Chains A and B, each alone.
Chain A
Amino acid sequence: MTKYVIESDKIGTVGDEFIPAEGINVDALLEGGFISTAGETKSHKVKLEPKE
């Protein structure tokens, strides 16, 4: 089962898991940027050390 993470405070606490109730259109929430699938949250930039 896919897990979702809240990305907007308009639907809850950002970072919490979002458990959609019956009838909720998850695709629309994903499209609007309100939630993301767990493991696909915005990645942080990682500075790589220059190769010698």
Chain B
Amino acid sequence: MATSTYLSNPVVTINSVDISDQCTAASLTKTVEALESTAFGGTARVYVGGLQANEITLTLYNSFAATETYATLSGLVGSSTNITVKPTSAATSATNPIFTITGCYLESLPIVNASLGELDTIDLTFQGGLYSVAIV
């Protein structure tokens, strides 16, 4: 059985800004809503695909330094933008595709999430948008 090793070390951009050096977790889920199309006479429930309902969650270290986390995100709350995630920093290819969510919405931004003796980290959820993948 073939196996491969995959070290999770993605490149993440938000609104064209490379935020990888502040990011510790990224989770992108492609979802197509299931619309039930079961009809009389059927013997099992069946579904057809509806609208995409994609979601991406990110965990970032917070930073208020110039062109860092806060500067990247503060203007995005309540609006839509693009996010890209690539498994590794190597060139884009069939084995290292770049995933893009175009037009995803940021509803809220934690401003401060501070605890004594710990780094300030924030969790973000971007909703919606159109999923696409490129290999070149």
Binding site for B on A (CB under 8 A): 7-8, 10-11, 18, 20-25, 27-29, 31-34
Contact = CB atoms under 8 A, between A and B. Distances in A.
Interface residues of B, number: 18
B71 A23 contact: no
A23 B67 contact: no
A25 B74 contact: no
Interface of B: 15-19, 66-67, 71-72, 74-76, 79-82, 102-103
Looking at chain B's contact residues, is the secondary structure mostly helix, strand, loop, or mixed? mixed
A7 B67 CA distance: 9
A10 B102 CA distance: 19
A25 B18 contact: no
A34 B81 CA distance: 15
A24 B76 CA distance: 10
A25 B80 contact: yes
A25 B67 contact: no
15 contacts: A8-B17, A20-B16, A21-B82, A23-B80, A24-B81, A25-B15, A25-B76, A25-B79, A25-B81, A28-B15, A28-B74, A28-B75, A29-B75, A32-B17, A33-B67
